[in-house]
A and B are shown apart, each in its own frame.
Chain A
Amino acid sequence: MVSKIPTPSFNPKFIIFKLFLIIAVINGFVLSNFASILKKSLHIITFVFLLFATANSLAKTITVCNSCSAKTIQEGINLADEGDTVLVKKGIYKEVNIIIDKSIILLGENLPTIDGEDRGEIIKIVADNVTVDGFKIINVGTSYTADYAAVRVIKKDGFVIQNLELEKLFFGIYLEKSNNGKVLNNKIKGDAVNEYNSGNGIQLWYCKGVEVRGNTVQNVRDGIYLEFSDNIIISHNKSKNNLRYGLHFMFSNNDIYEYNTFENNGAGVAVMFSKFVDMNHNIFKKNWGTAAFGLLLKEITDAKITNNVFQENTIGINVEGSNRIDYKNNDFISNGWAIKVRGACYTNNFENNNFMYNSFDVSYNSNLNDNKFNNNYWSDYTGYDLDKNGIGDVPYRPVKLFSYIVNRTPETIILLRSLFIDIIDFSEKVSPVFTPDNLLDENPKMKTINHDRS
């Protein structure tokens, strides 16, 4: 049987459909960009939506509230078709295992609360192009066999997860094998006490092309966790007071993270086994503790670390087995160790950085190899500049003898700030005997380098 397809231009019904489609697109645009303004004028938009729900059955809005026909979110989703909006009114919804299996927009009005009552996973997305916007999700169940998450996306593309507030959670937003989505402006606040029974704030597992922007993550195990995820942009996030790492990177290549703040995390930020990672304009501060660091690099190659601030960390950057990395225009301020190089590192270039008031500037426990220090400012530099070109005439040796000794025998750190140590450091500075004599900055700057971080 052959059915005749009507040509759209001659069919008035199709013109109306098109018109509404345009309105829908504009509405969608308003939705994703002006969420905060939207809240105020939501009733108008709801009205428009309702209008077209009555006029056209293709993109309707289903309202969920305590007195509506759809009383639970799952019922609302079941009633919806592809492309519909499910609007959830303010209230408390005690639901778990909400499964979104169609391309819909799940929209919360005035931050409705979904309470999982510690019974398990809350929202599961198993369709492409799903938007979840504006909910408060609390009490995600804890399990030692399943990673329950507040929102999970499974093998689907084009998701947008935004303006959520997650509290009392196990895992927060869990993306698994899902690509080209966005995770925007969420607030995640956990109550993690132990590493073994807590989850991560935002977890990406085998994802590609995801944007993670403007989120605040605190008091969970790892703030943001990436594993096998490529081409990810992580920007303008705040990750603080987390039990383990603020950001944890494993086997993830070609990623960018910029303009983030990582503060007071258990161990700082760990970037491991990854290639072509660009880290810029981040702030790493107050990662202070006996086993803490600002940034841990392990088996990283071809990375760029530029324009970051490392402040008050026990170890600013801990580098292990990392090659071809550029460290430029960073500030290292008041750290225990600014940079600790653990060996097997080749072609690391340290240029135009400020090293200010660190207990130890650089610690090295292997050969210098072909790593270079050039044109940095060192607050401990005591040389002179006779030709007034802004560059010291005497090279600076960033490795102190004591730092060398501590590397060899860690127990000797107990002599920190002893007069004897000051004396031997001084004599070593005058005539180097033990520290590698090619480890030096040939052109130390005389004045602090002013980095423009706008």
Chain B
Amino acid sequence: MLKILKYSFYDLMRSRWSYVYFLFYLLLGVVLLFLNNDLSKAVITLMNVIIILVPLIGTIFGVMYYYNSREFTELLLAQPVKRSSIFLGQYFGVATSLSMSLVIGLGLPFIFYGIFNSNAIWDFSLLLVTGAFLTFIFTALAFVIALCNENRIKGFGYAILLWLFMAVIYDGLFLMSLLYFEDYPLDKFSLLATMLNPVDLSRVLILLKLDISALLGYTGAVFQKFFGTDFGLVLSSAMLVIWVAVPTFFIWRIAKRKDF
């Protein structure tokens, strides 16, 4: 598996898209820091970008990579290699290279700007960690979708739909249910609903670390109390790990049974 991971990884490292992705983040970081000299404000803007864009790119790139490397996969399948290691190797190759582009692309300008001497270092590292997690989660989901759909158009469609659901529609449903059940105590429900969606979870985790969390008022206090404790932190990290582990498990299972 490591060998295939290495091949996919190097293959991607050489590909144009990784560079484009890397350069995009580099440029974003530089422009943000150039436009406003306030590190914590730059972190807020970055948060908006990360929770929307990272899942989108993870999904699209995952699906694209799977469909594009189909011939290579078929070639590999003819070799005496374990199936699971082929697909998991590819998945980890893609996800690792994407998160590397993200971390290095954003990290470089901020390091040069002097993030190590700033108080924003923890917020910023949290941002990068959640960004990396989101990449892993959405690439895994993209692989599951691609494995289930031979038809590329359908695969792409489902992938986009998945992103749309997680990033937009979920919040819409969340909002509607909050409004519909406004007469009931909603703290536990909103905590649970936030935990279940990795995009929301990352957003809330980052928001609570920033000054802006004071706007959240009473609800924020409930969240702060939960996520501020070790238990909350462990639980939310566990939730993100589960979001990586479950789709990875599905990749492994589907790949094992799939008929090529």
Do B204 and A414 touch (CB < 8 A)? Answer: yes
Question: Helix, strand, loop or mixed for chain B's interface?
Answer: helix
For B179, the closest partner residue in chain A by CB is A409
Do A411 and B186 touch (CB < 8 A)? Answer: yes
Q: Which residues of B contact A415 (CB under 8 A)?
A: 171, 174-175
Do A288 and B182 touch (CB < 8 A)? Answer: no
The winner among A292, A337, A414, A415 for most chain B CB atoms within 10 A is A414
Q: Which of A148-156, A369-377, A416-424 contacts B (4 or more CB under 8 A)?
A: A416-424
Judged by a CB distance under 8 angstroms, whether A359 is at the interface is: yes
Q: Which of B6-14, B133-141, B207-215 contacts A (4 or more CB under 8 A)?
A: B207-215
Chain B positions 40-87 with a Cβ under 8 Å from a chain A Cβ: 47-48, 51-52
* CB 8 Å contact bits of B179-191 with A (1 = contact, 0 = none): 1001000110010
Q: Which residues of A contact B51 (CB under 8 A)?
A: 419
Shortest CB distance A24–B (Å): 56
Do A359 and B212 touch (CB < 8 A)? Answer: yes
Chain A positions 399-428 with a Cβ under 8 Å from a chain B Cβ: 405, 408-421, 423
Q: Which residues of B contact A408 (CB under 8 A)?
A: 179, 182
Q: Which residues of B contact A418 (CB under 8 A)?
A: 171, 200, 203
Do B207 and A420 touch (CB < 8 A)? Answer: no
A289/B168 contact (C-beta < 8 A), A411-B186, A412-B179, A415-B175 known: no
Judged by a CB distance under 8 angstroms, whether A199 is at the interface is: no
Do B171 and A419 touch (CB < 8 A)? Answer: yes
Q: Which residues of B contact A289 (CB under 8 A)?
A: 214
Judged by a CB distance under 8 angstroms, whether A314 is at the interface is: yes
A414/B219 contact (C-beta < 8 A), A420-B168, A420-B171 known: yes
- With A and B bound together, what is the CA distance between A291 and B178 in angstroms? 23
Do B171 and A416 touch (CB < 8 A)? Answer: no
A409/B167 contact (C-beta < 8 A), A414-B190, A414-B219, A416-B215 known: no
Shortest CB distance A411–B (Å): 4
Q: Which residues of A contact B217 (CB under 8 A)?
A: 290-291, 410, 413
Shortest CB distance B9–A (Å): 31
Judged by a CB distance under 8 angstroms, whether B172 is at the interface is: yes
- With A and B bound together, what is the CA distance between A414 and B221 in angstroms? 11
Do A413 and B219 touch (CB < 8 A)? Answer: yes
Q: Which residues of A contact B203 (CB under 8 A)?
A: 417-418
Judged by a CB distance under 8 angstroms, whether B216 is at the interface is: yes
A359/B179 contact (C-beta < 8 A), A290-B221, A418-B200, A418-B203 known: no
A413/B200 contact (C-beta < 8 A), A290-B221, A405-B179, A419-B52 known: no
What bracket does the count of chain A residues touching chain B fall in?
20 to 34
Shortest CB distance A37–B (Å): 43
- With A and B bound together, what is the CA distance between A288 and B215 in angstroms? 9
Q: Which residues of A contact B169 (CB under 8 A)?
A: 420
Judged by a CB distance under 8 angstroms, whether A392 is at the interface is: no
Q: Which of A405, A412, A413, A420 contacts B220 (CB 8 A)?
A: A413
Q: Which of B168, B178, B215, B223 contacts A359 (CB 8 A)?
A: B215
Chain B positions 137-189 with a Cβ under 8 Å from a chain A Cβ: 167-169, 171-172, 174-175, 178-179, 182, 186-187
Q: Which residues of B contact A421 (CB under 8 A)?
A: 171, 175
- With A and B bound together, what is the CA distance between A290 and B194 in angstroms? 20
Q: Which of B175, B179, B182, B207 contacts A417 (CB 8 A)?
A: B207
- With A and B bound together, what is the CA distance between A288 and B204 in angstroms? 19
Judged by a CB distance under 8 angstroms, whether A294 is at the interface is: no
Judged by a CB distance under 8 angstroms, whether A336 is at the interface is: yes
Q: Which residues of A contact B216 (CB under 8 A)?
A: 290, 413-414, 416
Shortest CB distance B36–A (Å): 11
The winner among A288, A289, A410, A415 for most chain B CB atoms within 10 A is A415
Chain B positions 188-237 with a Cβ under 8 Å from a chain A Cβ: 190, 194, 200, 203-204, 207, 211-212, 214-221, 223
Do A417 and B48 touch (CB < 8 A)? Answer: yes
Do A413 and B215 touch (CB < 8 A)? Answer: yes
For A357, the closest partner residue in chain B by CB is B41
Q: Which of B171, B178, B214 contacts A292 (CB 8 A)?
A: B214
Q: Which residues of B contact A (CB under 8 A)?
A: 47-48, 51-52, 167-169, 171-172, 174-175, 178-179, 182, 186-187, 190, 194, 200, 203-204, 207, 211-212, 214-221, 223
A-B contact pairs, 15 of them (CB 8 A): A288-B211, A290-B221, A408-B179, A409-B182, A409-B186, A410-B217, A411-B178, A411-B219, A413-B219, A415-B174, A415-B175, A416-B215, A419-B168, A420-B167, A420-B171
The 7 closest A-B pairs by CB, nearest first: A420-B171, A336-B215, A411-B186, A409-B182, A418-B171, A420-B168, A314-B214
- Beyond A290-B220, A413-B215, A420-B168, 5 additional pairs, beta carbon < 8 A: A411-B182, A413-B219, A416-B215, A417-B47, A417-B48
